[in-house]
Structure 1
């Protein structure tokens, strides 16, 4: 048996191919199916199955397209109630892959319909666990993403209780040498305390994972439901898209209009400019939002731009334009792109530059906006009189920002503040709006 991990650092997403006797089963595939086809071709094997551990919130899966292309069977829990051809895969169900078995384990907690897959080798020994978003290295899946979406909705406290049972009764009883292959690594918003390691063992998790330590159910619920990261607005959209199956990747990408730089954009249209902020600041389209391609672009695109909200996409060169489109498609946003282009000839709006020393000496002369996430803000303000508006909330809270004195925006490192400054500038022109950027590290 060969297990191959495909890891997307942008979304901290891990998917897997299990190869045995020239047959492949793919677990939790990403949006672009080509890497899985290439893997199968390299090993002269056929993809015979695709397993979805749950309807993912943070990325779009290629399960339907892969089924339509290869004829492979999609397996998912009956509780998922997927609107695509599939075979249910729940407690007691087994997939035979030559002489090894893949056994379903229902593990509600991250979502009501979550499953894990236990692999038994040709000798009947439990060897590997594909744990989806139930068990991570150093963490377990957050329980608060299905309160508003999905065929089954559940309160986070109820899901946390189910996670307690799933971990204690099903996963923690497995042999300690079973290798754990999770669906996410550090940086994912599906948990709060993930290790940099991308695989583990049950024994290690029993020793080191905070969520698997000795505690009663009420304490577990309290710990698991507190201090979770923010939930981008696109999460619910992707759950529904994955329950129905996304359109074919290559066709969706080809349908996006690539536009010349001298095109006249629709007046007041939403524009996402992915260029580095120094180039954006030197000249950009009026009212454009600067979501830089480097960093967690997909996360912030899906946090700032609402599902089904149409926008133009600008990039620095043709290669980066195609990369920007591919990254937008990972979260199912390619259909919202009205057109893709390089910086147009009317990208002449320049950003105001902050006199950092004046600000350092006279902070009371500015309105300071803290755009960090709530868990960071709650850990302590950097400037005592800051107006706290996390970036994902900013477009809905612009009316709270006074325009009676210059505005300085900050985050923790500079990415979010660049985006926030561009958003604020689109509605406030009476006073300059500054980005403190990386200088925040010196305060």
Structure 2
């Protein structure tokens, strides 16, 4: 038997292949199915099944494409309301792979339709469990993503109660040596306290996971519904897209139009300029958003833009464009790219440079906008008079920023403030807009010492 984990660092997403005697099952696949085809070929195996633990919110799955390419059966809970070809997979159901079994456990909590997959080995022993977004290493799935999306919606308090029962009635009673394979690792927005480790055991989670410690249901619900990360705009969109199935990855990516660098652009379409900050500052198209190519590009793209919002995608090189289009496709946003292009020769807008000495000695003469998330500012603002508007909310709340003083934008390390300052600069013309950038680290260290 082979169990293999595929890990996407950008979305902190883990998917799996289970192979036994030439047959392979894929669990929670990412948007690009090619790695699963390659792995099956490497091991001379046929992909016979794809299991979806739930309709994912944070990435688009290739389950339908794999089915169409290999005729593999897609398995999911009947509660999913899936509109793609599938077989239901719920409590009591199992998939036989020669002498091993994959058994379904309904574990609502993260979503009403969540399942876990318990693997029974060739000795008839429960050996591993694929927990989807129900159980992570050091955490459990957040319960607040299905209030307005999916076949079944539920309030976060109700899902938190279901998570309490699922963990205690289904997972915590398993043998302690059962290996835990979750669908996410640290950096995912599907939980709030994940360990850097990408696998665990039931015994370790019983000892170390805060959510599995002895407590009553009310306490559990309060803990689980408090201090969860922000919810990107694209999450509900991806739930619904995964419920029906996405178009084929490569075809969708290849269909994106590439524009000549001198081609005119539509005036009312957002421009996402993914070049490094300094290149953007030296010359960009008026109104462009500087969302730099980085490890979390796709998450921030889906946090700034709405799921139906068209945009131009600009990058420094063709290879960068290819990479960014594929990143956008991981969340289903490649369908929103109006065209992709390289830097334009008429990109004449430049960013202003902040007089740092003047700023340090005259803080009251500036409007300071802190674009960090609520959990980051929980212990206090770095600048006492700053206005906190998280980056995912900035475009909708731009009118809350006063325009009687120059504006300085900051985040925690400089990546988000580059995007945020470009958003503010495009909308506010009355006063200069500055990006504090990486210098914020010095101010944060000074604030901690005070």
Q: Give the C-alpha shift of residue 157 in structure 1.
A: 0.4
Q: Does 1:410 align with 2:410?
A: yes
Tell me the equivalent position of 1:189: 189
Is the contact made by 2:9 and 2:295 (CA closer than 8 Å) also made in structure 1?
no
- Write out the 4+ residue segments of structure 1 that deviate beyond 2 Å after TM superposition: none
Alignment of 1:129-148 (within 5 A): 129-148=129-148
Q: Give the C-alpha shift of residue 247 in structure 1.
A: 0.5
Tell me the equivalent position of 1:323: 323
Measure the CA separation in 1 of the matches of 2:30 and 2:318. 24
Tell me the equivalent position of 2:161: 161
Q: Give the C-alpha shift of residue 378 in structure 1.
A: 2.2
- 1:119 partner SS: strand
Measure the CA separation in 2 of the matches of 1:89 and 1:324. 35
Alignment of 1:116-131 (within 5 A): 116-131=116-131
Q: Give the C-alpha shift of residue 295 in structure 1.
A: 2.9
Q: Does 1:80 align with 2:74?
A: no
- 2:375 partner SS: helix
Is the contact made by 2:73 and 2:86 (CA closer than 8 Å) also made in structure 1?
yes
Deviation readout 1:212-259 (Å, 9 max, x if unpaired): 001110000000000000000100000000000000111101110011
Which segments of 5 or more consecutive residues in structure 1 lack a partner in the other structure?
Answer: none
Alignment of 1:280-291 (within 5 A): 280-291=280-291
Q: Give the C-alpha shift of residue 376 in structure 1.
A: 1.2
Q: Give the C-alpha shift of residue 268 in structure 1.
A: 3.4
Measure the CA separation in 1 of the matches of 2:436 and 2:256. 35
Is the contact made by 2:57 and 2:235 (CA closer than 8 Å) also made in structure 1?
yes
Measure the CA separation in 1 of the matches of 2:295 and 2:381. 24
TM-score after normalising by structure 2: 0.98
Q: Give the C-alpha shift of residue 427 in structure 1.
A: 1.1
Tell me the equivalent position of 1:235: 235
The number of aligned residues is 443
Is the contact made by 2:109 and 2:159 (CA closer than 8 Å) also made in structure 1?
yes
Moved more, 19-28 or 260-269: 260-269
Q: Give the C-alpha shift of residue 84 in structure 1.
A: 0.4
Measure the CA separation in 2 of the matches of 1:26 and 1:52. 9
Tell me the equivalent position of 1:337: 337
Deviation readout 1:174-216 (Å, 9 max, x if unpaired): 0001000000000000000000000000000000000000111
Tell me the equivalent position of 1:262: 262
- 1:300 partner SS: helix
Q: Give the C-alpha shift of residue 358 in structure 1.
A: 1.2
Q: Give the C-alpha shift of residue 379 in structure 1.
A: 2.2
Tell me the equivalent position of 1:372: 372
Tell me the equivalent position of 2:203: 203
Alignment of 1:10-89 (within 5 A): 10-89=10-89
- 1:378 partner SS: coil
- 2:61 partner SS: coil
TM-score after normalising by structure 1: 0.99
Is the contact made by 2:120 and 2:127 (CA closer than 8 Å) also made in structure 1?
yes
* CA RMSD, Structure 1 to Structure 2 (Å): 0.7
Tell me the equivalent position of 1:3: 3
